A and B are shown apart, each in its own frame.
Chain A
Amino acid sequence: EAGVAQSPRYKIIEKRQSVAFWCNPISGHATLYWYQQILGQGPKLLIQFQNNGVVDDSQLPKDRFSAERLKGVDSTLKIQPAKLEDSAVYLCASSLGGVSEKLFFGSGTQLSVL
């Protein structure tokens, strides 16, 4: 079974530039999550999709972050404009949905904002 795919693996940008991350979840997984992991901290939920609808985006900084899930499968997370404090690993995860608690994570995108 293929895992959660993310790209790119690494990205270096300057502040005020824009950046986009892509995620392809495990086939058949209805729920998709984007997490932000700052160095030395645990992953923090940014947004949760159920199929192509948003379940929770309460912790997404909507003035600069946006996310969409195309046709209930792939998802993109965008930051525009980036700030220094956005430097982090951005993790995509998926699950079967419903009451399944087990999340499967991708390898993440390491973002450095200079």
Chain B
Amino acid sequence: DQQVKQNSPSLSVQEGRISILNCDYTNSMFDYFLWYKKYPAEGPTFLISISSIKDKNEDGRFTVFLNKSAKHLSLHIVPSQPGDSAVYFCAASDDLSEGSARQLTFGSGTQLTVLP
């Protein structure tokens, strides 16, 4: 049972245009969401996060939107650059860890290719 779903395995975008990556979740206990970026032969690196008390968080070219009622979040990259080409993972966590560090549940990832 996939609690975090990324239904688009791949996305191609022209340089300078907007990239929109989508993520859906089923667990209503999730209250914190993160996006990680992964280059080949490297581990995932943190990109941006959002708490469930917000509906938008922005960091430079990256913006994450959260729609709690739809259990949907999206990552917008504007403008897209060739260096953004990577696999993007959506991840979520809940507050059930009773004081311990939280666990992350990951989606299956979306391969973004930004064409020059």
Contact = CB atoms under 8 A, between A and B. Distances in A.
A14 interface: no
Given A40-B108, A42-B4, A42-B109, A98 B101 contact: yes
Contact of B99 (A4, A98, A104): A98
Interface stretch (B36-44, B54-62, B73-81): B36-44
Interface residues of B, number: 28
A32 B45 CA distance: 16
Given A105-B45, A107-B41, A108-B43, A50 B100 contact: yes
A63 to B, nearest CB: 22
Contacts, number: 71
Interface string A29-57: 01101000000111111001010000110
Given A101-B34, A101-B49, A101-B93, A43 B44 contact: yes
Interface of B: 4, 6, 9, 32, 34, 36, 41-46, 49, 89, 91, 93, 97, 99-109
Interface of A: 4, 30-31, 33, 40-45, 48, 50, 55-56, 91, 93, 95-108
